[in-house]
Chain A
Amino acid sequence: MSAAPFTQLNSKGGGIHWRRILVTIFNHSILILFTVIIVYPVLWMILASFKTPGELISNIWGLPTDPAYQNYADAWEKAKLGRALLNSGIVSIGAVLVVVCLSSIAGYAFAKFSFRFSTVILLVMVFTMQAPVPIIPFYVLFVRLKLTDSYLGLILAIASGTIPLAIFIFQAFFRSIPSELREAAKIDGCSEFSAFLRVVMPISGPAVATVSILTFVGAWNEYFMPLLLIRSDELRPLTLTIQVFFLQFGRAEWNVIFATLSIATIPIIVVYVFLQRWFIRGLTSGSIKG
């Protein structure tokens, strides 16, 4: 788009024309090379999940000769993936709900009301959100609040890390909404909060989507928090389940491991491919304005 004038300038004259074709070929070859480096290992993982243990060693590069669907049944049963998916789902959706509700309300106040300390509060968040949490006091706090080994504890642990960024995203979005909307709703007899709920939130889809994706992907992929806080097998989310399974069977049953990894990866990649614009925007927001 922005390179259009460049193209027009260069398209005059045969020599320059050839040069442009060469540049295009060069650009595509580099991009294809890196695309292969990124995509191939993932594709290979999915192919490997249909191989037998012998084939993993004898047939490294080829397609599986006789697809071993059994790997998936084994993975599902041995690693208790059904339960793990359920746990990850509960925690991720819980984290999204907590983060979206709390941060949208707070973000609205920072955007639309003026009150003492608002700048100080935002500054404290900016300076502490990146700081690594000391894990011992963090863990001891959860033990004392009896929040270890519970969905709620894990949800709060993950949500607390995402809330500042979510507040900044919501705040920036709400500033872009004209205040007339809110005034009109208030003249119609709405309270400040019901104006927010009934008038502002329904048109805040983009911000809600951005924050939801950011929180969901982060929670779904979170490994350290469950490692620290979850003890019992039944509450393990997917990431922890995979790692424990890898430690138990890693040396012997790589084919089943690859099936486990594929079950964990394929759904999120399929959703990502369909919603790539939203994913990319959501996961890089906070680093890019808008």
Chain B
Amino acid sequence: MPETSQPLTSQASGVARRFSKLAPYLWVLPALTVYGIFKLYPLVSGLQMSLLRWDGIEDPRYIGLRNFEKILSDPMTGTVLLNNVHYAVGTVIGKIVLSLLLAILLHQALKGRTFYRTSLFMPVVMSFVVVGVLWSWLFNPQFGLINSFLRGLGLEFLVQDWLGDAAVALNSLILVDIWKWYGFHMVIFLAGLQSIPDELYEAARIDGASVWQQFRHVTLPMLQPVMIVNVTISVMGAFNVFDIPFIMTAGGPANATNVMALHIYIRGFKFYRFGFSAALSYVLLVIVTLVAAIQLKLMTSGDNRD
């Protein structure tokens, strides 16, 4: 709890008292100015832009809610959003399952824990551009590492055009995203596991709980706070994803990997439909907010039922 600032002596003038009341605002002003101008202002000023037909050069024309009507009737909106949902489901399941498994393994008293943890976290430090370009080659159908590996194992039937086949491309990007981030989620789960008191496991063992029962009835419920953090971060990431599809596939083939953030960028900066693009941003903002709210509600209401 913040403590009150020191009481002034009775001789202090009214000016000094007023200044000491204002002082805290001076401390927070610089940071809030930067945040206000560059983060909050665009969030608000875009609302007015979403009501315009505007190419960024000629004078804008007010067209009311026409942009939003177009977004609702445009079949592309559905395609793009479904890709985001697909991406979210794939990355969330992949990241949570893998990172939880590895966190549980790393939580044991093992030799080489630091080595494993450092290695598994490494891609988090790397740039998405490097990761994206590297994996574009690893996925290369003729000379890439993945297909070469599969051929070497005699798994010819698994060999594919990872980024060129519309039925596979989005899943390939999901794999790269999981590869880049699961170390991050693993460290968060690890911190959660370390905060579970040993007595709970001892009590469970005395009651004759099996390893699985301990996991199900002690570990999972105790991990709920970090589980919420991990799922929220991955879901948000999936709905805002831009770098990977932009660099690796540019949304192709045939819009199979086109996602909302990419769609917004292309409408804005390739077709110069500024008003339409701004309107799309708000559609994304509303969806992200709704998804976050629903998911938080679902995950915390499970807690009440237990």
Contact = CB atoms under 8 A, between A and B. Distances in A.
A264 B134 CA distance: 12
B118, B183, B264, B292, most chain A CB atoms within 10 A: B118
B122 A269 contact: yes
Contact of A128 (B40, B230, B261, B282): B40
Given A131-B285, A246-B133, A163 B109 contact: no
Contacts of A41: 134-135, 138, 145
B34 A141 contact: no
A268 B268 contact: no
A45 B98 CA distance: 24
B120 A243 contact: no
Contacts of B134: 41-42, 45, 258, 261
B300 interface: no
B28 to A, nearest CB: 4
A3 interface: yes
Contacts of B86: none
Contacts of B123: 38, 42
B118 A114 contact: no
A6 B49 contact: no
A192 interface: yes
A239 B49 contact: no
A128 B145 CA distance: 41
A156 B6 CA distance: 35
Contacts of A176: none
B171 interface: no
A265 B126 contact: yes
Interface stretch (A68-76, A103-111, A203-211): A103-111
A42 to B, nearest CB: 7
B145 A105 contact: no
B85 interface: no
A18 interface: no
Nearest to A56: B143
B11 to A, nearest CB: 17
A30 B125 contact: no
A61 B288 CA distance: 43
B65 interface: no
Contacts of A96: none
B191 interface: yes
A200 to B, nearest CB: 12
Contacts of B27: 105-106, 108-109, 113
Given A134-B285, A179-B3, A284 B148 contact: no
Interface string A3-19: 11111010000000000
Given A132-B284, A136-B281, A156 B38 contact: yes
Nearest to B119: A35
A252 interface: no
B129 A223 contact: yes
Interface stretch (B73-81, B89-97, B100-108, B154-162): B100-108
B145 A5 contact: no
A169 interface: no
Interface in B265-306: 265, 268-269, 274-275, 277-278, 281-282, 284-285, 288-289, 292
Contacts of B138: 41
A39 interface: yes
Q: Binding site of A, secondary structure by majority: helix, strand, loop or mixed?
A: helix
A109 B6 contact: no
A264 B125 CA distance: 12
B217 interface: no
B125 A269 contact: yes
B38 A157 contact: yes
Given A134-B46, A141-B42, A163-B31, A34 B120 contact: yes
B30 A106 contact: yes
A21 interface: no
B278 A136 contact: yes
B126 A113 contact: no
A160 B38 CA distance: 6
B127 A264 contact: yes
Nearest to A109: B27
Contacts of B274: 136, 140
A118 to B, nearest CB: 7
B14 interface: no
A128 B43 CA distance: 9
A2 B143 contact: no
Contacts of B82: none
A284 B188 CA distance: 7
B41 interface: yes
Interface in A23-66: 24, 27-28, 30-31, 34-35, 37-39, 41-42, 44-45, 48, 56-57, 60-61
B278 A279 contact: no
B87 interface: no
Contact of B125 (A9, A115, A217): A217
Given A128-B40, A261-B134, 11 more contacts: A30-B102, A31-B116, A106-B32, A112-B5, A114-B3, A118-B28, A130-B288, A131-B43, A140-B49, A283-B125, A288-B188
10 contacts: A37-B179, A102-B34, A115-B21, A118-B24, A135-B277, A163-B31, A163-B35, A167-B31, A239-B128, A264-B130
